[in-house]
Amino acid sequence: MGKWISGDGDGTPLFNAITGTEIGSANSKGLDFGQMMDYSREVGSPALRKMTFQQRGLMLKALALHLHGIKGKFYELSAATGATKIDSWIDIEGGIGNLFANASLRKQFPDLPYYVDGEAAKLSKEGTFIGHHIMVPKEGVAIHINAFNFPIWGMLEKIAVNLMAGMSAIVKPATLTCYLTELMVREIIASEILPEGALQLICGSANGILDHITCEDVVTFTGSASTGQMLKSNPRIIEESVPFNMEADSLNASILGEDSTPGTAEFDLFIKEVQREITVKAGQKCTAVRRIIVPENLVEDVQSALSSRLSKTVIGDPSVEGVRMGSLAGQPQVKEVTEKVNLLAKSQKIIFGDLNEFEVTGADKTKGAFISPILFLNDSPFEKTDCHNIEAFGPVSTI
């Protein structure tokens, strides 16, 4: 029978991103990662492998319905990550939506624990030697190392896949916002919808867990490219040929066409969407627009219209009426984004926003992890290339 285990000694303190107050700690010291892996392999995964695709899909649907029914609990705690209600909706209901979507995939599979792919291939003249591909679950564990920005979506979009495929999971959320992931995992475990051992959680460091992986396991990572590359080069990953899926940095662009001039519906939509992509989740999305590519003759128009729209963005405590942008997920992110903004500022000009001078509604900006939207102008994008290489993971973008 699985159980909750507390780490040894003091852990890493966790803070409310809006108020700066301590709300708990994360500590994985003393956890036996080898034992966790064995528990997944010997208890969780075998139970899932016995289930058919139809049973697994219906299990995911039941879990999605259950979590949707108690979603208010997650919204309440999500506010501590600095998220507005819209930000939380993306994370919480977007994540639950992933469960529903994967559950519906059961309709494409038979009511069997395995999947027969294609027709039998005749490999001998008399048909005494034939070949057939049979897809069966791997007999290992899916290890998911996740990012801080979507503590619920990041977990659910991944475990939906491994559960449907008949594999158990160990989830390691980013420590900064792991308290929200932990709340959902507690609710999932308490529901008893998943088989015993199908889901385990590590809050705190998971350093050393990859020492226990084999060729039957799978590792996924969401986060910075540098950390991802380090993990991907782990000797066990290489020696055991472990599948490693990485989602890392991105510098997405929004491009304005030459005929989308001020006064056209396309121009207005462009400004609206870029502003939204800068401010939703305070820019802490891998899909956020980092580069705003426009025809040279429209630069001033875009600068003026976008600055005007950004100036109307109310920053502060999301529980206060009228606030449209919350905070970053924590002070470590304020430090990191500030450093990246200062790096970008060496080669391009800030045309909107200020790291120090900005108003916050309903909260103390010296205690919360608040930051102003920052808009740069790069007048020589082929020579000044920092904006094509440096990602400030916050409400920061460059024209």
- pLDDT the model gives residue 314: 97
d(CA 91, CA 83): 9
* Domains of the chain: residue spans and CATH: 12-115+133-247 (3.40.605.10), 252-398 (3.40.309.10)
pLDDT digits (tens, 9 = 90+) for 168-209: 999 999 999 999 999 999 999 999 999 999 999 999 999 999
pLDDT digits (tens, 9 = 90+) for 321-376: 999 999 999 999 999 999 999 999 999 999 999 999 999 999 999 999 999 999 99
**DSSP symbol at 212:** G
Residue carrying structure tokens 């015993």? 196
d(CA 11, CA 269): 46
- pLDDT the model gives residue 1: 74
- pLDDT the model gives residue 378: 98
- pLDDT the model gives residue 249: 79
CB-count burial class (<10 Å; 0-12, 13-18, 19+) for 344:
buried
Instruction: Report the sign of the C-alpha dihedral through residues 309, 312, 315, 316, in that order.
Output: negative
Residues assigned a catalytic role = 247, 286
- pLDDT the model gives residue 10: 87
- At 126, is the pLDDT very low, low, confident or very high (cuts 50, 70, 90)? confident
d(CA 149, CA 330): 10
- At 125, is the pLDDT very low, low, confident or very high (cuts 50, 70, 90)? confident
Question: Quick count: other Cβ atoms within 10 Å of Cβ 235?
Answer: 9
CA atoms within 13 A on the CB side of 387: 27
Contact 166, 160 (CB under 8 A): no
d(CA 383, CA 396): 20
